[in-house]
Amino acid sequence: MKHTIACGDTLELIKQIEPASIDLLVTSPPYWAKRVYNGDGEIGSEETPEAYVSRLADFFDELRPYLKPTANVFINVGDTYFGSGAGAWSKYLDNDGNVTQAQKDRKEKYFTTKPLQPKIKQNGKLYQNKQLLLIPSRFAIEMQERGWLLRDDIIWQKPNRIPASVTDRLNNTYEHVFHFVLNKKYFFDLDAIKVLGANGRMKNPGDVWAINTQPLTGNHTATFPEQLVEQIVLCGSPKDGIVFDPFLGTGTTWIVSDRLGRNCIGFEINQEFFDFAQSRFKESRVSE
């Protein structure tokens, strides 16, 4: 297998890749206002959910020339509530919205060095505390408006989701994985993921996938379960094809692609995650 794995900003690194060469893009971008991976200005740190959706769609538009006309794109995007983490603002921010000195002094690494959500004034409409923002749907619609063809809205249901402490709504136990294509004719190997039906015949697996989350050690907690990526790689790319993850994180897409006989292109901007992905990949080969 020929893998191209590099540490840096995907929008720079992609320029080394041959146009129209990628069979499958599968990824999970940073979600809006959920985590701090790399600091100011990173994707996910936008002032509003709308700005996030627009920037994320810009990001995928820039990658589009590198996809084959028959390519598949699977993007897992998470949602959040307006005002989520609002209780932490006083700890993180002073009245002018600047990070407090006390918070800077904590020198914590990921996730806690700034408030999870920017301070946005409530407007009684979309912007009101407790509002589910429907970010995945907004993103999918934005992509459609830019010409991407949406083929599936896969529900990744998480049977092992930890119980929530909330008492005035239901525990959220799923995420969306959108399947986009560029053209009406595209590669798709349904047989590769068919499941056994009650009548003993193989059938379409449907668009609700019950897959447990897979915790890893280390600082990166937003990892893809290998089984989720496996399903996508199997139906979305030919053997020996090229699979691309523009937000490689801990390297799940790389490991799965290698195991399934696909070449992988993977870019990750955070050096620590990149190093972790390297060691995880080496281990995966030893344990085969």
Ligand X SMILES: C[S@@+](CC[C@H](N)C(=O)[O-])C[C@H]1O[C@@H](n2cnc3c(N)ncnc32)[C@H](O)[C@@H]1O
Q: Which residues make up the interface to ligand X (CB under 6 A)?
A: 9-10, 28, 30, 37-38, 42-43, 220, 222-224, 247, 249-250, 252, 267-270, 273
Q: Which is nearer to ligand X, 38 or 263 (CB)?
A: 38
**Rounded to the nearest whole angstrom, what is the least distance from the CB of residue 166 to ligand X in the complex?**
23
| Interatomic CA distance for residues 286 and 153, integer angstroms | 35
**Rounded to the nearest whole angstrom, what is the least distance from the CB of residue 128 to ligand X in the complex?**
27
Position of minimal CB gap to ligand X? 249
**Rounded to the nearest whole angstrom, what is the least distance from the CB of residue 133 to ligand X in the complex?**
18
Q: Which is nearer to ligand X, 83 or 249 (CB)?
A: 249
The DSSP string of the chain is ---EEEES-HHHHGGGSPTT-EEEEEE-PPPTTS--SS-TT-TT--SSHHHHHHHHHHHHHHHGGGEEEEEEEEEEE---BTTTTGGGHHHHB-TTSPBPHHHHHT---SSSSS-SS------SSSSSTT-B--HHHHHHHHHHHTTPEEEEEEEEE-TTPPPP--SSSPPP-EEEEEEEESSSS----GGGG-EE-TTSSEE---SEEE------SSS---PPPHHHHHHHHHHHS-TT-EEEESS-TTTHHHHHHHHTT-EEEEEES-HHHHHHHHHHHHHHHHT-
Q: Which is nearer to ligand X, 178 or 273 (CB)?
A: 273
| Residue where the block lists tokens 């915790």 | 215
**Rounded to the nearest whole angstrom, what is the least distance from the CB of residue 168 to ligand X in the complex?**
28
Q: Which is nearer to ligand X, 194 or 272 (CB)?
A: 272
**Rounded to the nearest whole angstrom, what is the least distance from the CB of residue 155 to ligand X in the complex?**
18
Report the candidate in 228, 129, 138 with the shortest Cα–Cα distance to residue 174. 228
Q: Which is nearer to ligand X, 93 or 118 (CB)?
A: 118
**Rounded to the nearest whole angstrom, what is the least distance from the CB of residue 281 to ligand X in the complex?**
12
**Rounded to the nearest whole angstrom, what is the least distance from the CB of residue 165 to ligand X in the complex?**
24
**Rounded to the nearest whole angstrom, what is the least distance from the CB of residue 280 to ligand X in the complex?**
9
Q: Which is nearer to ligand X, 71 or 222 (CB)?
A: 222
- Measured between its terminal Cα atoms, the distance across the chain in Å is 15
Q: Which is nearer to ligand X, 100 or 226 (CB)?
A: 226
Q: Which is nearer to ligand X, 31 or 194 (CB)?
A: 31
| Interatomic CA distance for residues 180 and 158, integer angstroms | 22
Q: Which two tokens stand for residue 235?
A: 């139906």
